[in-house]
Amino acid sequence: MPELPEVETTRRGLAPHCVGRALVRLKVREPRLRWLVAESLPAQAAGRGIASVGRRGKYLIFALEGDLNLLLHLGMSGHMRVVSARQPVKPHDHVDFCLDDGAILRFNDPRRFGSLHAIEGPTDAHPLLASLGPEPLSAAFTGALLHRVGQGRRAPIKSVIMDSHVVVGVGNIYATEALYRAGIHPARAAGRIARARYDRLVNEIKAVLAEAIEAGGTTLRDFSRTDGLPGYFAQTLAVYGRGGEPCRACGRALRSIRLGQRATVYCPRCQR
């Protein structure tokens, strides 16, 4: 599944091609995504200029003229690419954002777990966004916040930082890597972590996400950037996907467990 760095990489790749351009046509070939795309949406969006491309968690937000926003989620296997009008339509090319210069922002989603919604006015109150926690790279996400949320909780810390109500967009890959860097066992109860260790964990979450964004994301199955090239952060992963291999810090074999139905790899010596 594309995680926050992949979505941010997509946002940065799309913005130069569409901001300031007009959305001539929104062509929906397959409306049966995770939620049915409203039949009225193409007519509602057509002809409006694109003022900006934002992101909230793993959602892309296309701000159109006239206070209309298009909220797009890439789902588990979706991606957007910039293509020409001559580019043949491929299987699973479900939505085209046709721009006034002839370029197309094409949304491909094999599993159809993505979604597309129109929001009139502010987006924060939309049901899909209203309960989301702070952005992990923002000043609002702090060790003090995590420490307060974790008080008295027996839930594994990895599950807590992957809870979008606590902090938005910290997916499995980056939670695993940040916990390793911070030296915290992923199954450790959130209520049994000191404030200083939470400060370090927040710093490592911010660092690993920022590094992944700069690397263009992580190559996972069919994720690629808007230019069709893969992200390169996978080359620097210290623990994710390396169960049984030696820890790069101490040499001990990394262990694999499952937490919250997710594969989790950690070092039994370096993480406690």
- pLDDT tens track for 141-150: 999 999 999 9
pLDDT at 223: 39
| 79-84 and 93-99 strand pairing | unpaired
Q: Is residue 129 part of a domain?
A: no
Determine the structural domain holding residue 152 and report its residue range: 143-266
Last residue of a domain, one of 120, 153, 168: 120
Residue 262 catalytic?
A: yes
Pair of tokens at residue 80: 């957007």
What token pair was written down for 12?
């940065």
Amino acid letter, residue 165: H
The domain that holds 207 is classified in CATH as 1.10.8.50
Please state the pTM of the whole predicted model.
Answer: 0.88
Longest dimension (CA), the chain: 59
**12 labeled binding residue:** no
**Same domain? 13 vs 114:** yes
Indicate whether 137 belongs to any domain.
no
Name, in order, each residue with C-beta under 8 angstroms of 17's C-beta and a sequence gap of 6 or more. Answer: 82, 99, 103, 105, 226
Number of domains in the chain: 2
pLDDT recorded at residue 167:
97
The verdict on residue 136 lying in a domain is no
How does pLDDT run across 169-198, given as a tens digit for each residue?
999 999 999 999 999 999 999 999 999 999
Catalytic annotation on 55?
Answer: no
Q: Give me the catalytic one of 11, 48, 58, 181.
A: 58
136 classed as catalytic: no
Which pLDDT score is estimated for 260? 85
Give 70's strand partners.
62, 118
Q: Do 170 and 212 have their domain in common?
A: yes
Point out the domain boundary residue: 65, 85, 120: 120
Residue 153 annotated as part of some ligand binding site: yes
* pLDDT reported for residue 218: 52
- Nearest alpha carbon to residue 13 among 270, 224, 226: 226
Q: Are 10 and 55 part of one and the same domain?
A: yes
Cα of 91 vs its chain's centroid, Å: 24
Q: Which residues of the chain have pLDDT under 70?
A: 1, 217-235
Residue 21: which CATH number?
3.20.190.10
For residue 217, the model assigns a pLDDT of 58
- Output the CA–CA distances (angstroms, integers) from residue 65 to 40, 45, 96, 114, in the order listed: 17, 9, 19, 24
